[in-house]
Amino acid sequence: MGGFTHLNAVSGFSTRFGAAHPEQLVQRAAERGMSAPALTDRDAVTGAVRFAQAALEHAIRPIFGINLAVAPLAPAPAQRRRTPVRGGAHVDEPPHWIVLLAQSRTGWARLCRLTSAAHTHRDGPLVLTWDDLRQHAGEGLTVLLGPASELVRALTAGRPDLAEHLLAPWQQLPGIQLRLETCWLGCTGTGPGSLRLAARTLTLADQLGIPAVLTNAARYADRGQRRLADVLDAATADACVIDPVRDLGLGRPHFPEPAVVGAPSGPAHAARLLRERAEAGLIRRGLDRDPRARQRLEEELAVIRTLQYDSYFLTVAQVVEDVRELGIRVAARGSGAGSMVNHTLGIATANPLDFHLLMERFLSVRRASLPDIDIDVESARRLEVYDRIIERFGTERVAVTGMPETYRARHALQFPVKSCMLS
């Protein structure tokens, strides 16, 4: 695409929208033989200096511009409901964006005045009023009305008559050069980035005798930055399109596959392996002739099978075994020490029957959450434990979590007071 001029491209200086540094945009433009790229960040020109410096290094001509939201021309419907009739949150109408390009030093000065004017309105969102445009727009500026403008959105709605009506105020601004911006991104339908809307825009430009320009509305320099742009869009969206439970599996436990812990595929095989290892541990502990121990083990195995936690217990047992093989001291603590299964698997040392520990504090069919099996290891060698666990189960199954300590108001006050030896 050598020779193509990007007239609408944003960088990371477009907060929560652009995904590339200005230098990356310039570098890619130079590599593709583009002699005059534009930087048109949203709401600000703060990336212009870095953009100009990069353009100087690559011996290409920078074009300075900006994307600004403009107050709508069409009157809003009377008595618009702030909240849907059937409940739910109110969704604000998207802003109407235009692109301003500076043709000269005079145009740059006008562009900066318009940008400052948009930032001075503190009674609502950052928007350029028509009074601002009439006062500061003029010679040296090019205005692009593209897919996000009020005019082209009228075309999206199938209203070329309204689009023509909305064009008149722009034509009345003295000195500006007006262009209709077409953009085809391969999208389907009639919305922004679609071939249909691009064709409608070109048709209107031809009918009214207004020059049209082609842009890509670039948000990133490389394909690999697409994911970052997707994250930015998701973070600023009105609603999450991913169901945390259905799509991400949040809210329910995930255990290693049975094969990872030495059992054939299928939950029944994991349950069979857990029983074999627990009964072997019962013999090893010398409790196989103790009816109380055997009854307790059967009760716990039944609960574990009902909850389908077999793979979980096998996983923890494997971790403890690996830690001991490293010569690292390890011990179970908390309510998990009250489990006979943990005792027979070698996770917990103490016999819960000797200390009258209750299994129900740790595991019960009435408990919805996954039981915690707390394992303490030598602090100085914990990184060795991490490495062994990752080696055993793979990075795709392992995550390291932390618990940051925070203070509420009362304790935040008590802490510095104690440092002054006051109590």
Q: How confident is the model at residue 132 (pLDDT cuts 50, 70, 90)?
A: very high
Phi, psi for residue 359 in degrees, rounded to 5: -70, -30
Q: What is the arithmetic mean of pLDDT over 36-64?
A: 97
The rounded percent of the chain whose pLDDT value lies above 90 is 74
Who's near 146: CB < 8 A, 6+ residues apart? 8, 97, 98, 99, 152, 180, 181, 182, 183, 215, 217
Q: What is the number of residues in the chain?
A: 423
Q: How confident is the model at residue 328 (pLDDT cuts 50, 70, 90)?
A: very high
Q: What is the arithmetic mean of pLDDT over 22-51?
A: 96
Structure-block tokens of residue 32? 């593709």
Distance CA(257)–CA(148), nearest Å, equals 48
Burial of 224 (0-12, 13-18, 19+ CB in 10 A): exposed
Who's near 376: CB < 8 A, 6+ residues apart? 330, 331, 332, 333
Q: According to the model, what pLDDT value does residue 66 have?
A: 98
Q: What is the arithmetic mean of pLDDT over 72-92?
A: 53
**Predicted confidence (pLDDT) per residue in 95-120, tens digit:** 999 999 999 999 999 999 999 999 99
Element (H, E) at 64: strand 63-70
Lowest mean pLDDT segment, chosen from 40-54, 69-83, 105-119, 254-268: 69-83
**Who has greater pLDDT, 380 or 2?**
380
Q: What is the arithmetic mean of pLDDT over 30-34?
A: 93
Read off the DSSP letter of residue 381: G
Q: According to the model, what pLDDT value does residue 165 have?
A: 94
Q: How confident is the model at residue 249 (pLDDT cuts 50, 70, 90)?
A: confident
Q: According to the model, what pLDDT value does residue 422 have?
A: 62
> Residue 90: pLDDT above 70?
no
40, 73, 90, 169, 243 from 239: Cα distances, Å: 28, 28, 12, 35, 10
Distance CA(154)–CA(99), nearest Å, equals 17
348 three-class SS: coil
190 three-class SS: coil
Neighbours of 237 (CB within 10 A): 9
**Predicted confidence (pLDDT) per residue in 198-208, tens digit:** 999 999 999 99
Q: According to the model, what pLDDT value does residue 74 have?
A: 61
Q: According to the model, what pLDDT value does residue 78 have?
A: 46
> Residue 416: pLDDT above 80?
no
Q: What is the arithmetic mean of pLDDT over 138-157?
A: 96
Q: According to the model, what pLDDT value does residue 166 have?
A: 95
| H helix count then E strand count, the chain | 14, 10
**Who has greater pLDDT, 83 or 173?**
173
22, 46, 53, 104, 331 from 49: Cα distances, Å: 9, 7, 6, 16, 59
Show the DSSP H helices in 189-265 as ranges: 195-208, 226-236
Q: How confident is the model at residue 85 (pLDDT cuts 50, 70, 90)?
A: very low
33 three-class SS: coil
Lowest mean pLDDT segment, chosen from 24-33, 247-256, 315-324: 247-256
Q: According to the model, what pLDDT value does residue 1 have?
A: 54
Q: How confident is the model at residue 86 (pLDDT cuts 50, 70, 90)?
A: very low
Contact between 63 and 31 under an 8 Å Cβ cutoff? The reply is: no
Read off the DSSP letter of residue 195: H
Q: According to the model, what pLDDT value does residue 81 have?
A: 46
- Hey, what domains does the chain have and what are their CATH numbers? 22-74+92-236 (3.20.20.140), 258-397 (no CATH)
Token look-up 């490495």 returns 387
Lowest mean pLDDT segment, chosen from 204-208, 233-237, 307-311: 233-237
Token look-up 């949203």 returns 42
Distance CA(233)–CA(347), nearest Å, equals 46
The rounded percent of the chain whose pLDDT value lies above 70 is 94
Q: According to the model, what pLDDT value does residue 236 have?
A: 84
55, 170, 215, 218, 224 from 19: Cα distances, Å: 19, 31, 18, 10, 10
Q: According to the model, what pLDDT value does residue 14 have?
A: 96
Contact between 339 and 352 under an 8 Å Cβ cutoff? The reply is: yes
Contact between 329 and 317 under an 8 Å Cβ cutoff? The reply is: no
Q: What is the arithmetic mean of pLDDT over 343-363?
A: 94
> Residue 256: pLDDT above 70?
yes
> Residue 188: pLDDT above 70?
yes
β-strand partners of 184: 193
Question: Is the C-alpha dihedral spanning 56, 58, 59, 65 positive or negative?
Answer: negative
> Residue 82: pLDDT above 70?
no
